[in-house]
């Protein structure tokens, strides 16, 4: 059996398990340790880790299909899986010896936050790190936690070769991180995306992502993709999975549900038929755009061709569009569910809450469309975030 088939079959199996334990996951406000361990053993956290240190270096389309499949069962589990896989790609940007130390076992989970809300002051052999970060998805089950930092030396910002302040993520042992009970939210409740902080923590320089660069020729095509792209791809895949689950849930409900005073079931009503057909068209077309543009970019990567700005733009448009169309699909299915959809016993209400939290992520926000639209107009927007 190929690695691809193993991963996809495991994703389908774990989606069912997580679906059955959805209430437990949501009430815990984090993934139960045994579920996180099952995701690890399936290889999901290793999909972004370099092969040289025991990872899978899975093609991004395969990773996205895994996240999408998991999300049909439980969006929180899928979200943590994508964060773990995305965070694993950072091991390609530190010395191999350090990467081996971090990824010491196949079950290792790395999570973290890219936002540079921490401060790292240069000291002998490394940095003293202080800071507080939000949205630490999956971090309570992780062995290592990333935090974005601005780098300083002698109290002054360190600058890159272009004279800009240097921002890097640092890898910190989870046991040295303080977690704050802040994750009380409406959706994606089971991701455990709480705040965390450190004060004066020493981090060796070989655990500062991108500070001691690896040789470019040693890197695989996977690591040619921008970090922000991985984040956006994961969000898009999770939302596509939520939307598919919402359609399936509505189908099961509509065949028997009759509104008060109605002679026909929801499924027999013309308005339901029209809305379902349109939802299928919206979801399938968004999914095709997503995977088509991703495959085009992957083909450039495996042939060693540099990414064109147009390719990066199109892929980010496809990921953001996947989220927008998926939100629309979930909203329609939720509305068609009527009063039945508002009860905790209905998965439609959870799909509604989960996807509306997912869409708030900055990687798929309105500002992304503004940048993309300006580029289509031939203007010169700041495309660094693409």
**β partners of residue 147:** 113, 170
Could you please state the CATH topology (level 3) that the domain comprising 3-93 is classified under.
Answer: Butyryl-Coa Dehydrogenase, subunit A; domain 1 (1.10.540)
pLDDT of residue 215: 54
Distance in angstroms (rounded) separating the CA atoms of residues 169 and 89: 12
Is beta strand 178-180 parallel, antiparallel or unpaired with respect to 156-157? Answer: unpaired
Q: Provide the percentage of residues in the chain whose pLDDT is more than 70.
A: 98
Architecture label for domain 225-376: Up-down Bundle (1.20)
* Interval 52-74: pLDDT, tens: 999 999 999 999 999 999 999 99
Contact, 203 vs 120, CB < 8 A?
yes
Could you please state the CATH topology (level 3) that the domain comprising 110-214 is classified under.
Answer: Butyryl-CoA Dehydrogenase, subunit A; domain 2 (2.40.110)
* pLDDT higher than 70, residue 198: yes
* pLDDT higher than 90, residue 22: yes
Least Cα distance to 234 among 178, 173, 191, 273 occurs for 191
* Interval 107-141: pLDDT, tens: 999 999 999 999 999 999 999 999 999 999 999 99
Domain definitions of the chain by residue range: 3-93, 110-214, 225-376
The phi, psi pair for 95, rounded to 5°, reads -55, 145
pLDDT of residue 173: 98
Q: What DSSP assignment string belongs to 242-289?
A: HHHHHHHHHHHHHTT---TT-SS-GGGSHHHHHHHHHHHHHHHHHHHH
Contact, 150 vs 165, CB < 8 A?
yes
* Interval 219-233: pLDDT, tens: 689 999 988 899 999
Using DSSP's 3-state secondary structure scheme, residue 237 falls into helix
pLDDT of residue 303: 94
pLDDT of residue 258: 79
Instruction: Give the Å distances, CA to CA, from 84 to 63, 111, 144, 147, 277.
Output: 11, 5, 10, 14, 35
Mean per-residue pLDDT, 332-337: 97
* Interval 256-297: pLDDT, tens: 887 777 788 999 999 999 999 999 999 999 999 999 999 999
Mean per-residue pLDDT, 335-356: 96
Contact, 14 vs 42, CB < 8 A?
yes
Distance in angstroms (rounded) separating the CA atoms of residues 89 and 110: 10
Least Cα distance to 327 among 240, 229, 232 occurs for 240
pTM (whole model) above 0.95: yes
The phi, psi pair for 169, rounded to 5°, reads -85, 150
Q: What DSSP assignment string belongs to 77-143?
A: HHHHHHHHHHHHGGGGGS-HHHHHHHS-STT--EEEEEEEEEEEEEETTEEEEEEEEEEETTGGG-S
Residues 6+ apart with CB under 8 A from 96: 50, 52, 53, 214
Using DSSP's 3-state secondary structure scheme, residue 362 falls into helix
* pLDDT higher than 50, residue 29: yes
* pLDDT higher than 80, residue 247: yes
> What is the token pair recorded at 310?
């147009």
* pLDDT higher than 60, residue 217: no
pLDDT of residue 218: 54
Least Cα distance to 35 among 4, 5, 79 occurs for 79
- DSSP state, residue 51: G
Instruction: Report the mean per-residue pLDDT for the chain.
Output: 95
Using DSSP's 3-state secondary structure scheme, residue 178 falls into strand
């Amino acid at each position: 059996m190929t690695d691809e088939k193993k991963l996809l079959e495991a994703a389908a199996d774990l989606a069912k398990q997580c679906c059955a334990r959805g209430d437990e996951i949501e009430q815990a406000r984090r993934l139960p340790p045994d579920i996180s361990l099952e995701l690890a053993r399936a290889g999901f956290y290793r999909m972004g880790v370099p092969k040289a240190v025991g990872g899978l270096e899975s093609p991004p389309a395969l990773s996205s299909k895994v996240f999408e499949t998991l999300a049909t069962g439980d969006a929180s589990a899928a979200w943590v899986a994508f964060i773990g896989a995305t965070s694993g790609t950072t091991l390609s940007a530190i010395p191999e010896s350090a990467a081996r130390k971090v990824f010491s076992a196949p079950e290792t989970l790395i999570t973290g936050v890219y936002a540079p809300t921490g401060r790292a002051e240069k000291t002998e052999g490394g940095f003293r790190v202080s800071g507080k970060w939000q949205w630490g998805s999956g971090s309570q089950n992780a062995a290592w936690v990333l935090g974005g930092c601005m780098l300083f030396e002698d109290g002054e910002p360190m600058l890159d070769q272009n004279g800009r302040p240097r921002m890097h993520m640092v890898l910190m042992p989870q046991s040295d991180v303080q977690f704050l009970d802040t994750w009380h939210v409406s959706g994606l409740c089971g991701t455990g995306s709480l705040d965390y902080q450190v004060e004066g923590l020493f981090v060796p320089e070989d655990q500062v992502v991108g500070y001691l660069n690896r040789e470019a020729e040693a890197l695989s095509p996977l690591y040619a993709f921008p970090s922000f792209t991985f984040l956006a791809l994961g969000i898009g895949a999770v939302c596509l999975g939520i939307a598919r689950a919402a359609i399936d849930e509505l189908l099961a409900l509509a065949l028997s549900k009759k509104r008060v005073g109605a002679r026909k079931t929801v499924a027999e009503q013309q308005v339901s038929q029209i809305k379902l057909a349109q939802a299928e068209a919206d979801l399938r077309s968004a999914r095709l755009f997503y995977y088509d543009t991703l495959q085009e970019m992957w083909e450039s990567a495996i042939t060693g061709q540099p990414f064109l700005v147009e390719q990066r733009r199109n892929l980010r448009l496809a990921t953001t569009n996947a989220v927008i169309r998926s939100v629309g699909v979930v909203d329609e299915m939720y509305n068609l569910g009527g009063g039945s959809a508002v009860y905790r016993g209905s998965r439609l209400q959870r799909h509604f809450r989960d996807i509306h939290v997912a869409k708030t992520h900055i990687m798929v926000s309105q500002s992304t469309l503004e940048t993309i639209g300006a580029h289509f107009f031939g203007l010169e927007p700041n495309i660094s975030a693409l």
